[in-house]
Amino acid sequence: CPGSSTCVVDQTNNAYCVTCNRICPEVTSPDQYLCGNDGIVYASACHLRRATCLLGRSIGVAYEGKCIKAKSCDDIQCSAGKKCLWDAKMGRGRCSVCVESCPESRSEEAVCASDNTTYPSECAMKQAACSLGVLLEVKHLGSCNCK
């Protein structure tokens, strides 16, 4: 990356050159706290972005507020329009936006998800995750039987 910018890889493995904001307000209020997908409490969105930048990969927000030792999604309050999906591998919940319907597209490629199920598209996988209440991630493109 040119100059003082840093390479950051997002959750879908796309790389971007970004300029890191090194300074965040020290005094934040509890209503700005965010629980990161890494299980760490960040004082604000600025602090989470700074950590993402310094780490070089996306952390993402699990939910608003301090991280709690949740036993299930029943313990987690998601903001309006989001549903808690349980990440069994990490033993924590993540608030996600659930899509009602997937766009009709012939070009969408099938995906093999973390539950070893083949879904017709990433959107269909996300819909299944929401109906099951579990976090599903793409293992690889194509059928699970191909690899």
pLDDT digits (tens, 9 = 90+) for 83-136: 999 998 888 999 998 988 888 777 778 999 999 999 999 989 999 999 999 999
- What pLDDT, on the 0 to 100 scale, is given for residue 147? 53
* Whether the Cβ atoms of residue 39 and residue 67 lie closer than 8 Å to each other: yes
pLDDT digits (tens, 9 = 90+) for 78-95: 988 899 999 988 889 999
> What's the gap between Cα 138 and its chain centre?
12
Domains of the chain by start residue, with CATH: 6-64 (3.30.60.30), 73-146 (3.30.60.30)
Q: Which of 86, 11, 85, 90 is nearest to 55 (CA)?
A: 11
Range with the poorest average pLDDT among 10-14, 48-52, 54-58, 105-109: 10-14
CA dihedral 58→59→60→66, nearest 10 degrees, is -160
Question: What pTM was estimated for this model as a whole?
Answer: 0.74
